[in-house]
Amino acid sequence: MKSFLIILTLIGLMGCGEEKKPTPPVDVQKISTVPSKKSQFKVNLTWEKGPVADKFSTAKLLFFDKNDASLKGVKMISFVPDMPSHGHGTSMDDQKIVSGKEPNEIRVENVFFVMGGPWVITVTAEINGQTNTAEVSVDVP
């Protein structure tokens, strides 16, 4: 009888507690597509790793014209994360901007977000001799 009560108590305790929802993996791809300020290009940003706070993230950028045709000869000038709600940016000392596999592809490695929250990334690129910027919003967990 004592064993039965112990087992019944243990079974009852197993049903108690909050149900925890699974946390999505950090490296799930998140995609944003935004036009540049003067509509000279569109940038499609895909997170290959991250975005995540306090660790390095990697972004892949694809550049298109306003008719969605791939652009060639893209020269990436800068990729600047900023947190307007806090009035600060982040260290870009380790950031690496490299050409991708496609003519319209740029990879940005070692992007570092100092904290979670809403960030705005200003992408500056030169295409056919014209420099323009686009802003991509990202919520970093």
The model carries a pTM of: 0.76
Asked if residues 132 and 125 have their Cβ atoms less than 8 Å apart, the reply is yes
- State the pLDDT confidence band at 128, using cuts at 50, 70 and 90: confident
**CA–CA distance, 20 with 105 (Å, rounded to integer):** 39
Q: What is the pLDDT of residue 27?
A: 41
Give dist(CA 134, CA 35) in Å, integer. 6
> What is the reported pLDDT for 1?
58
Which pLDDT band, with edges at 50, 70 and 90, does 9 fall under?
low
